[in-house]
A = this chain, B = another copy of it.
Amino acid sequence: MIKIAVDMMGSDNGPEELSKGVASYLENNQDVSFVCFGDPDRMSLLKDSPRVEIVKTTQVVPMETSPLSFLRMKDSSMYKALEAVKDNKCQGLVTAGSTGGFITGATMLIKNIPGVNRAGFCSYFPSKVKGKQVAILDLGASNVNTPEELVGFAKLGSLYYKENMGKKNPSIYLLSNGTEEGKGLDECKKAYQILKEDKSINFMGNTEARDALDGTKDVIVSPGYPGNIFLKASEGMALTFSTLIKSAFKRNIMTKIGYLLCRRGFKDIHDIFDYKRTGGAMLLGINGVAVKTHGNSTGEFLYYSLDLAYRMVKNDFVGKIKKDFEVK
């Protein structure tokens, strides 16, 4: 039986909403159980479920927290969920809560896999090509990274893509401000030199941010700060377009009829950019499955994140990283 810890207090939508995702996941999957941390009175949907253990916690980590404040909140739902993985009571955890708290907690409590010098946030992005996704890391666990850390991200991303997409030798790119070898930040140029000599990695060179989602790339590696800017800029632009498209169709009765005639095509666009289905971001390199889902996750959103955690635990993804990063 796979056992996953869930921080029920992290989403803006509250534990009542997240409970729906947990309940629905339990219905569809028999070999999984959950330990849900938070306010029991707000998880009434789960109280009679035989495969849910509810653990009462009294604190909620605020969205903005310092490492020190987080580490003091020992009775918070997030701290307890992380501790459950650290103590091997659960094999993985999912949280929608504070990113800063999560990174601090995961690296300080669960710790990195031996040989991994830095954990990185990795998430799947949609591309122009329907069904084709691209994994990008680090999306902001760090700000600045060393060349060696970037090489580590390339290895972690490659393993992650292989695991999720079943592709043997995923293509790896460095995010840069130009495709030529000499472009980009100094740390990226140094990582480029190491990666191009590394036969274990299918390194293809640099990609510009403009071409990152063209559907020809499998994994893209970046230091955390520009990776985060990439993530948020893409999100912002996608959101802007969605808003504008909706209002273009809602202008009047004629445009509404127009929508009815084209809705299948626009449904496809919606599905391509439905980031719920990506399951959120994995903190790769941590000695346990650690998934961060969106801060305003709904039950449906959480469902996909639980599924990501479940699949990673079931396939012993952490074990595979350990083997790969073993000091030989």
Binding site for B on A (CB under 8 A): 64, 127-128, 140, 143-144, 175, 177-178, 180, 184-185, 208-214, 222, 225-226, 228-241, 243-245, 247-249, 251, 254-255, 257-262, 264-266, 268-269, 272
Contacts and interface: CB of A to CB of B under 8 A. Distances in A.
Chain A's interface: helix, strand, loop or mixed, by majority? helix
Contacts of A143: 177, 184-185
A113 B254 CA distance: 55
Identical copies in the complex: 2
Given A255-B265, A261-B254, A210 B235 contact: yes
29 contacts: A128-B244, A140-B177, A144-B185, A175-B229, A177-B228, A184-B225, A208-B232, A209-B228, A209-B229, A210-B233, A210-B235, A225-B226, A226-B226, A226-B229, A229-B229, A229-B230, A233-B233, A233-B234, A233-B237, A237-B238, A238-B241, A241-B269, A244-B268, A245-B245, A248-B262, A251-B262, A258-B258, A258-B262, A259-B262
Contacts of A239: 210
A209 B245 CA distance: 21
Contacts of A261: 254-255, 257-258, 261
Given A226-B226, A248-B266, A249-B265, 20 more contacts: A128-B240, A143-B177, A177-B228, A177-B232, A184-B225, A209-B235, A210-B239, A229-B229, A233-B233, A233-B234, A233-B237, A238-B241, A244-B269, A244-B272, A248-B265, A249-B262, A251-B265, A255-B262, A257-B261, A262-B262
Contacts of A251: 262, 264-265
Contacts of A241: 237-238, 241, 269
